[in-house]
Amino acid sequence: MNGMPGIKESTRERVQELARELGYTPSRFARGLVQGSRTSVGLAIPDLTNPYFPAFASSVVELATQRGWHIVVDDYGHGGRTGLDAVDHLAPQVDAVIGYLGGYAEQAQAVMGRRPLIVLDETPGGAAGSINFDYAEAAKLAVDHLWNTNRRNIAYLDACSSSLIGSGQVPTGPSKFGAPEVVAQVPSTEAEAGPCTVRGRAVTGRLYGTGAPWALVTAAETAEAARAAAAALLRERPETDGILVFNDLMAAGVLKAVHEAGLRVPEDCAVIGMDGIPLGEFLTPELSTLALDLREVGRAAVELLEGLLAGAVAPGSDAARLTLVHQLILRESA
């Protein structure tokens, strides 16, 4: 008996005392069954080890907690699991899911049934809600900045892990995870082994627009892989004077590679990352980046979910498709 009025004080204490001795804990299921659930939300994340995701998660958890929601996380980055596995795991336990799924929006929404699913950085339409980023605009900002500071041999380092691939297609080009290589050296419209991410398509599209030569390299989504890829790039194409990188974590690796190649950043070669995670400010030189306000991304997701849950916004409607824009933050590296 917890806080019910009209109970003798002595009885209450006697009962509570006994309960404590017996180690009694009310079943959350029976309680939830009868009281109507606290809402609990699944958060599917590809890799907590990339600082981008905890930064995002932190914001989501904060906002969710304010609303009295519970957040159940699943980091599906281990053991070959996919975003769909994560949703499968979360589904029986939650009322909604927010996640970077890496391409399973439709199937994931199917396992969630009527419960809202919000996917980030993925083609909209499959899920009840989606949050996307305007990569065309981002690519414009970054490529134009490099161009305007007289970079004429720009390279783009793309990620090629499965987690963030927009189309779900892994190109069958010469680039492998272990052996990074320059996969395209153009101008050309569609290299057969083209970019594998939506970011990649936006950036290479813009690069193509410059008319100057440019390169595309891919690597797995880690700093180490990026470092190796950048080293290879610099060896094969020493004239490279600007590198745009898939994300800030990989950019950290690139910074190291450029330094190791004996080049100065940004004088000899500029580097621009993407994400805007705090890590960038600690690097030497400090990383210029296409920054997202991670707290805003979290807020967008939580507020969209709130709308969906309340019925204020219709699943799949235009109001459920948000697009956020990057901001070019110029620090030292470009």
What does the binding site for DNA look like in residue numbers (CB under 7 A)?
Answer: 2, 4, 6-8, 11, 24-27, 29-31, 33-35
State the nearest-atom distance from the C-beta of 7 to DNA, in Å.
5
Our measurement of the distance from residue 290's CA atom to the centroid of its chain's CA atoms, rounded to an integer in Å, reads: 14
* Triad 86, 127, 221: Cα angle to 5°: 50
State the nearest-atom distance from the C-beta of 309 to DNA, in Å.
17
Considering only residues 116 through 175, tell me which ones interact with a second copy, judged by CB under 8 A: none
Tell me which of DNA, a second copy, none is bound by residue 11, counting a contact when its beta carbon lies within the kind-specific cut-off of 5 to 8 angstroms.
DNA
- Beta bridge pairs of residue 41: 71, 96
**From the list 11, 16, 37, 327, which residue makes contact with a second copy (rule: CB under 8 A)?**
37
**From the list 7, 13, 18, 33, which residue makes contact with a second copy (rule: CB under 8 A)?**
33
CB 112 within 8 A of CB 87: yes
CB 78 within 8 A of CB 60: no
**From the list 23, 80, 211, 311, which residue makes contact with a second copy (rule: CB under 8 A)?**
23
- Kindly tell me which of 42 and 103 has the beta carbon lying closer to a second copy: 42
Distance CA 273, CA 283 (A): 12
Return the closest-CA partner of residue 55 out of 311, 268, 297, 294: 294
**From the list 11, 16, 93, 327, which residue makes contact with a second copy (rule: CB under 8 A)?**
93
Label residues 318-328 b or e (16+ Cβ within 10 Å = b). Answer: eebebeeebeb
**Which SS3 state, helix, strand or coil, does residue 219 take?**
strand
Considering only residues 210 through 249, tell me which ones interact with a second copy, judged by CB under 8 A: 223
- Kindly tell me which of 19 and 193 has the beta carbon lying closer to DNA: 19
CB 218 within 8 A of CB 175: yes
The torsion defined by the Cα of 17, 23, 28 and 30, in degrees rounded to 10, comes to -80
Q: Which residues contact 41 (CB under 8 A, 6 or more apart)?
A: 64, 69, 70, 71, 72, 94, 95, 96, 97, 98, 305
Give the number of other CB atoms < 10 A from CB of residue 199: 25
The reply to whether 100 sits near a second copy by the rule CB under 8 A is no
State the nearest-atom distance from the C-beta of 16 to a second copy, in Å.
11
- Kindly tell me which of 13 and 239 has the beta carbon lying closer to DNA: 13
State the nearest-atom distance from the C-beta of 71 to a second copy, in Å.
6
- Kindly tell me which of 26 and 80 has the beta carbon lying closer to DNA: 26
- Kindly tell me which of 55 and 141 has the beta carbon lying closer to a second copy: 55
The reply to whether 2 sits near a second copy by the rule CB under 8 A is no
Counting residues that bind a second copy (by CB under 8 A) gives 58
The reply to whether 113 sits near a second copy by the rule CB under 8 A is yes
Residue 276-315 contact track with a second copy, rule CB under 8 A, x = bound: --xx-xxxx-------------------------------
Torsion over CA: 158, 159, 165, 168 (sign): positive
Q: If you search the block for the tokens 């981002």, which residue do you land on?
A: 138
Tell me which of a second copy, DNA, none is bound by residue 2, counting a contact when its beta carbon lies within the kind-specific cut-off of 5 to 8 angstroms.
DNA
The torsion defined by the Cα of 145, 148, 149 and 155, in degrees rounded to 10, comes to 60
Tell me which of a second copy, DNA, none is bound by residue 128, counting a contact when its beta carbon lies within the kind-specific cut-off of 5 to 8 angstroms.
none
- Kindly tell me which of 63 and 198 has the beta carbon lying closer to a second copy: 63
Where does this chain bind a second copy (CB under 8 A)? 20, 23-33, 37-38, 40, 47-49, 51, 53-55, 57-58, 61-62, 65-66, 70-75, 77-79, 81, 89-90, 92-94, 112-115, 223, 252, 255-256, 259, 278-279, 281-284
